[in-house]
Amino acid sequence: MIPVTKPFLPPQEEYVEFLDGIWTRQWLTNMGPLASKLEMELKDYLGVKHLLYVTNGTVALQMAIKALGLQGEIITTPFSFVATTSSIVWEGCTPVFVDIDSDSLNIDPAKIEAAITPQTTAILATHVYGNPCDVEAIDKIAKKHNLKVIYDGAHAFGVTINGKSIFEFGDVTTCSLHATKLYHSVEGGLVVTNDPDLLKKMASIRNFGISGFDSFAELGINGKNSEFHAAMGLANLKWADRIIERRQAIISLYEENLKGLKAQRPVWHKGSKTNGAYLAYIIESEELLLKIKSTLDEHEIFTRRYFYPSLAASLPYLEPIEMPITDDIAKRMLCLPLYFELTDEDVDWICRLILRTQNN
C-alpha cells in the first residue's frame, strides 16, 4: 500500500534524547524550555523577525484574526483547506470569496478590488501548495484600502521569494506543523509577524490573555503547545533540509515520467521554487481524473482530490456561490503520493499505471 502522504519520523533515539530531559524537568507544557528553544531555532532557520509556536495552524489563524481586531468582511479564497474559511466564521466575521488565478491557483488580485465594500477589513489569502501569492499586488491593494493582510502559509514552510521568507509578508502569516506537512511537530502551528507589538498581543492571547498572577489584559485562548510536540519539532528540524531536498527530487522524477500526461502543473511564482509540500496535477478532465484515481485505488495507491469541492460551494454554514475557475480546477485537481520514504521505483510504478490508464 502506498499512501498519499506519510509523516516523517526522525531516528527514534534522537527523539528519546529530548524526552529524557522532559522526564528530568517534569515541565510538560505552558511554553517550557523545549518549546522556547524551538521558537528560537525556527526563527533562525526561517529567517524571520518574530514567531510564536502555537497549538495548531487553525488556532494560529484564529489568533491572527483576533489580534488584528478584525470585524465585518474578510476577503478570502475558495480554494484552500476548510480551516481558512471556518476560522473567519468562528471569529464572527464574514468570508467573501474571490476566485483564483487559473495558473497559480492562488487568489486572483485582479478580482479583489471588486469585492471590497465598506465592511471589508482584511484579506486572508492562502499560498496554495506552498506557491507564493502575488504578495506585491495584494500589499498594494491592502494599503490603498487600509486593509489588514493575513496569509495562510500552512503549506509554505521554508518557501522564499528572492531569498526572503514568504512568512515576512502581510501583517501576520500562519503555518501548520501538522503531521501531514513536510516539516511537523505532530500537532503544531506558527504565527509570524514583523510587528513586535502585534507579537506581544498574540503571545498574550496564546496564554488566556493573562498579564500577571491575578490579572488579565484581554480575551485569550489556550494556544500553547506541549514539550512533547516541541521535542518532535526540534528533532525534525535537523532533517528539514534533507526532507525538502528529497521531496523536490521525487517531484522532478514524477514530472520527467509524466511528460505525456494530459494535465498541467500549477505555474510557480517566478521568484520562488517549490518546497516539495505537494505534488498536484490539473488533469485534462474530471472523467480522466476519476479513471486514474480508480486504477490507482485498485493497486492500493492512494491519491487525494485536494481541494475538492470548492469551499464556496460546499460548506453547510454558508450560502453556496459559484466560482467558475475554482469550481473547474477543484474537479480536475489530483495530488499524487509524496513523502520522504517514497522510492524511485514506487514513483516509476505509479507513473506507468497513470499513463497506461490514460492511454487505454
Beta-sheet strand order (sheet of 189-193): 50-54, 189-193, 172-176, 148-152, 120-126, 73-76, 94-97
Q: For residue 212, what pLDDT band results from cuts at 50, 70 and 90?
A: confident
Find the mean pLDDT for residues 3-26: 97
Q: What is the DSSP letter of 195?
A: -
Residue type, 119: Q
- HSE-up (13 A, CA, CB side) for residue 308: 17
- Do 135 and 169 touch, CB atoms closer than 8 A? yes
Do the Cβ atoms of 129 and 105 come closer than 8 Å? yes
Domain over 12-98+105-237 is classified CATH 3.30.70.890: no
Task: Encode burial over 42-67: b for 16+ CB neighbours within 10 A, e otherwise.
Answer: beeebebebbbbbbbbbbbbbbbbbb
Closest C-alpha to 89, from 307, 316, 313: 316
What tens digit of pLDDT does each residue of 122-172 get?
999 999 999 999 999 999 999 999 999 999 999 999 999 999 999 999 999
Condensed to tens digits (0 to 9), the pLDDT of residues 70-117 reads 999 999 999 999 999 999 999 999 999 999 999 999 999 999 999 999
Q: Are strands 333-335 and 210-212 parallel, antiparallel or unpaired?
A: unpaired
Helix (H) or strand (E) holding 333: strand 333-335
Distance CA 152, CA 150 (A): 7
Q: Is the separation of the CB atoms in 219 and 86 below 8 Å?
A: no
Could you tell me the fold of the domain covering 240-359? Aspartate Aminotransferase, domain 1 (3.90.1150)
Copy the grid coordinates of residue 284: 485534462
Instruction: Map out the domains of the chain as residue ranges.
Output: 12-98+105-237, 240-359
At 254 the pLDDT is 98
pLDDT at 39 over 90: yes
Taking a C-beta distance cutoff of 8 angstroms, is the pair 132, 157 a contact?
no
158 sits in the region (left: phi over 0; alpha: psi -120 to 50; else beta) called left
Please enumerate, as own/partner, the contacts of 330-333 that have beta carbons within 8 Å and a separation of 24 or more.
330/79, 330/305, 331/286, 331/289, 332/282, 332/283, 332/284, 332/285, 332/286, 332/289, 333/280, 333/281, 333/282, 333/283, 333/289, 333/305, 333/306, 333/307, 333/308
Confidence of residue 214 (pLDDT cuts 50, 70, 90): confident
